[in-house]
Structure 1
Amino acid sequence: MLEPAYQVDVVVVGAGVAGLFAAHRLTSAGVTTAVLEAAPWVGGRMSTEKVDGFRLDRIGQLLLTSYPELTHGPGLEALVLRPFAPGVLLHSDGRHHRAGAPAGSGGARSALNAVRALASAPRSSAALPRAFVPETAPPARTGRPVPSDRVQPFGIGTPLRLRAALARLAATPVERLLARPELPAGEALAARGLPPRTVDGFLRPLLAALLCDPDLTSSSRCADLALRAFAGGRLCLPEGGADVLPELLAAALPTGTVHTGVRVTSVSTTRVTTAEHGEIRCRAVLVATDARAAADLLPGLRVPDFHPVTVVHHTTEDAPDTGGHLLLDADRSGPVAHTAVISRVDPSRAPVGRALVSSTVLGTPPADVDTAVRRHLGRLYGTSTARWETLAVHHTPEAVPAMRPPHDLRRPVRLLAGLYVCGDHRDTSTVQGALHSAHRAASALLADLGAGRSLHRADPAATPARAAA
């Protein structure tokens, strides 16, 4: 009996969010797909450690409800997004300044208040992301509120032109943003005529958190896209942890599509070689790994620099209540770029009666990172952290690909007919970038395979599950 010409239409290498998202588009078009993952689990860098009832993200990238693929992508119908309180808290000169609070909350009409009020105003149910949870976080179960004399409305002296600039940015088509002159984000902020207080007190710490880039060396186009997403949505977290997103994608694929613990050693346009199961013949290959692993399989692919990220998780019975806000350090007075009482935003991440405080250090961490972070958190929250318990310290040296100019936000995903690549290193270094690159790669692949006409099928016995078994 003759062997079939191929065992599966497409092999996707890597079960991170990009690979899984692409697999959804392919299987939905009737293309048989096998997703091969070297690790014992799906998700790649979007992983969550479980410790004594806590759910601790390893990188903790911030998401935004305005990410189109995140809120309307296939396989993510069951995703629940838990929003932070509107705007952010900024720590500066020993006080908390609220950016984006509703007008009148502190007596001053901040320019940013108007923009954020527009973005967070009630909309029709049809306009809301399907699984967005608006203002449903329950009251803090533990902790003291931050004293009101330490919370100030942000924006006293903020020019009205900032409001106009951000409002325009939220409504500007993406392609127009990509056509702007490109500079390092820090230089672009200085060149746009905004007051130093606005730049250093709000835009720099916000962009550093969104881009995981403390020195703002990223492309100004990437920074514009991040600000546009912030102005048009809400900072949020996936309910239950970062790994919920890839797990939902994997669970929604046809049974037998995803195979973990399978290491791919080489790829070509018509076959994939694995360490465990030999060769798998196919019609096309999509490499959806991180940038370094992709370059190992595809010699000549550029490996970018990376931004390291360290996340320190603490628990306490008496954490301060910052009202569900993300707290940024505008003074850069310590290693923590941003922090939050995560259990206030998503109660499912901590046992009842305990608070989870997660803090992010961008760049190279100090030698004794936990001690330095505790000291800094004491100043940021205005409370003693001596009795806080450290749950985990997660350091990821290659957490986020750098996007220094010139940065092509639409890096090619089709290397040649039959060989494709996707991931956050082909777009913007965000979850949205990974999903969007997967969308582009799947579209190119389907076009090359001739989606819409009847695809030749291999022997029914040679299913994706059997091909990888």
Structure 2
Amino acid sequence: MLNHARHADVVVVGAGLAGLSAAHHVVAAGLTVIVLEGSDRIGGRMATDTVDGFRLDPGNHLLNTSFPELHRTPGLAGLRMRQLSPGVLVRGGGRNYRVFGDQRRARDSLSLLIGGSRTPFSATLERARLGATLARLAGTSTARLLARPETTTAEALAARGFSPRMVDGFLRPLLAALLSDPALTTSSRCADLVLRGFARGRLCVPEGGSASVPELLAKALPPGSLHLGRNVTSVSTNEVAVDGHPAVRCRAVVVATGARRAAGLLPGLHVPEFHPVTTLHHAVAEAPLREPALVLAADRRGPVAYSVVASEVDPGCALDGRALVSSTVLGPLPGGRVADAERLDREVRGHLADLYGTDTDGWELMALRHERDAVPAMRAPHHVRRPVRLLSGLYVCGDHRDISTAQGALYSGRRAAHHLLRDLGVRFRPEDTQRNLAAA
């Protein structure tokens, strides 16, 4: 890293997914870039902690093989993904049911899950409605999805004829895992985009932890581009002020921080509500499930929304032959204090004992990570493509300007970069990407 860089064509403030994406598209067009990150590490919420040799990912960082930006973003060609089992396991009625794994068994298990006391005909009709809905979503373009009438997800599911049993038994727990919104207040358009991804691809996580995505992007930038520990105090179209360091002159600025920080630099910027997320990681002597499956809690008999044996997905995240179980609790912490961690751990282990059908008394809590601003809420009405161009020379990006996923963060960075390039009169073709990166 250069310690005295004072000029570049473009300055990007923030080294999360959106900022690194924007930086790569700028470099691909042949411009110089400086990325200023206020903390001592890159990635923003896409971070991985190491505790006693275990790699722990805080928060909800499920990706999907169908995310287009994982394939379009320069610098991610070497990304290795670890796929979860097809579909999900849903815990309901005291049993686990697979949904959308092997198709024949999936039909049988979904029938058991939603059938209950209902007639076989009703359950068959419900299955057909769900299958038809997902098939239609899988074949619908983004433009058409975003043009649909908007309501809350709960209202949209009811309007499509799904029974409360189907919603509570499968759709709510699935969307809670994908959107961090068990109340289903999310815009129906955003839920459709997420369900389309579920129908088109496989859930997955980055090999080596979620931090491997921003690390790969940062490594692929030209040497000297990235500067950590640079607290930006103000921005304009041609200069960025940095606390304790010389100002950096430029032709354009991209603010790619979280929503609250961005609003501090750009007064008047929209700041959404957020879904809090708490993640608990337990080291166990033996994996309670020998499969890389996402386990959804449909009964809601405890605090856990979903859980996964992380070491079955990526064996490298655990140590010494032990397994790692990562579980997610949605909403504010009970009592609102991290001091309640011991009580929450007891409640979570009690719930996990039911989800996995095993004794959890000996499970060791490796870490409890609570993030108040984990996921920007997308309550209806929601502006999915919030403007990233504020004025010529000043841009903003992040998942708070798009959809609250890694796909949304990466795509918002690309949108900001392309607006910037047009304003600067830079002609850019996607096929030039690799040549410009190689020459940088």
State TM-score, norm by structure 1: 0.84
1:128-185 deviation line (CA, Å, top 9, x unaligned): xxxxxxxxxxxxxxxxxxxxxxxxxxx7664312211110110101111101111111
Q: Does 1:263 align with 2:263?
A: no
Aligned match of 2:251: 283
Residue 364 of structure 1 deviates from its aligned partner by: 1.4
Secondary structure, aligned partner of 1:249: helix
Q: Does 1:420 align with 2:395?
A: yes
Q: Does 1:399 align with 2:374?
A: yes
* Rounded Cα–Cα distance in structure 2 between residues aligned with 1:282 and 1:364: 41
Q: Does 1:19 align with 2:19?
A: yes
Structure 2 CA distance for partners of 1:216 and 1:322, relative to 1, 3 Å: farther
Residue 276 of structure 1 deviates from its aligned partner by: 2.1
Aligned match of 1:99: 99
* Rounded Cα–Cα distance in structure 2 between residues aligned with 1:84 and 1:44: 24
Structure 2 CA distance for partners of 1:289 and 1:106, relative to 1, 3 Å: closer
Secondary structure, aligned partner of 1:76: coil
Aligned match of 1:343: 311
Deviating more after overlay: 425-434 vs 181-190: 181-190
- Determine if contact 1:111/1:162 at 8 Å carries over to the other structure: no
Aligned match of 2:140: 172
Deviating more after overlay: 440-449 vs 349-358: 349-358
Q: Does 1:161 align with 2:135?
A: no
Counterparts of residues 348-367 of structure 1 (less than 5 Å)? 348-366=316-334, 367=340
More helix by share: 2
Counterparts of residues 238-277 of structure 1 (less than 5 Å)? 238-277=206-245
* Rounded Cα–Cα distance in structure 2 between residues aligned with 1:284 and 1:68: 27
- The runs of 4+ residues in structure 1 deviating greater than 2 Å are 103-112, 155-159, 365-368
- Determine if contact 1:65/1:71 at 8 Å carries over to the other structure: no
Number of residues of Structure 1 aligned to a counterpart in Structure 2: 406
* Rounded Cα–Cα distance in structure 2 between residues aligned with 1:66 and 1:182: 24
Aligned match of 1:151: none
Q: Does 1:331 align with 2:299?
A: yes
* Rounded Cα–Cα distance in structure 2 between residues aligned with 1:103 and 1:401: 34
- Determine if contact 2:60/2:277 at 8 Å carries over to the other structure: no
Secondary structure, aligned partner of 2:251: strand
Q: Does 1:225 align with 2:200?
A: no
CA RMSD of aligned residues (A): 1.7
Unmatched 5+ residue regions in structure 2?
1-5, 113-122, 335-339, 429-440
* Rounded Cα–Cα distance in structure 1 between residues aligned with 2:366 and 2:62: 20
Aligned match of 1:34: 34
- Determine if contact 1:103/1:109 at 8 Å carries over to the other structure: no
- Determine if contact 1:111/1:163 at 8 Å carries over to the other structure: no
* Rounded Cα–Cα distance in structure 2 between residues aligned with 1:405 and 1:324: 33
Aligned match of 1:90: 90
The equivalent position to 2:421 in structure 1, one of 421, 435, 446, is 446
Aligned match of 1:389: 364
* Rounded Cα–Cα distance in structure 1 between residues aligned with 2:207 and 2:12: 27
* Rounded Cα–Cα distance in structure 1 between residues aligned with 2:151 and 2:24: 36
Residue 103 of structure 1 deviates from its aligned partner by: 2.6
- Determine if contact 2:85/2:293 at 8 Å carries over to the other structure: yes
* Rounded Cα–Cα distance in structure 2 between residues aligned with 1:414 and 1:351: 46
Unmatched 5+ residue regions in structure 1?
1-5, 113-154, 454-469
Aligned match of 2:117: none
* Rounded Cα–Cα distance in structure 1 between residues aligned with 2:413 and 2:221: 15
Aligned match of 1:68: 68
Work out the percentage of aligned pairs sharing the same amino acid: 59
- Determine if contact 1:110/1:156 at 8 Å carries over to the other structure: no
Secondary structure, aligned partner of 2:250: strand
- Determine if contact 2:59/2:278 at 8 Å carries over to the other structure: yes
- Determine if contact 2:11/2:240 at 8 Å carries over to the other structure: yes
Amino acid across the alignment from 1:86:
P
The equivalent position to 1:201 in structure 2, one of 166, 169, 183, is 169
1:76-128 deviation line (CA, Å, top 9, x unaligned): 1111110100000000111001101213347838599xxxxxxxxxxxxxxxx
Structure 2 CA distance for partners of 1:251 and 1:316, relative to 1, 3 Å: same
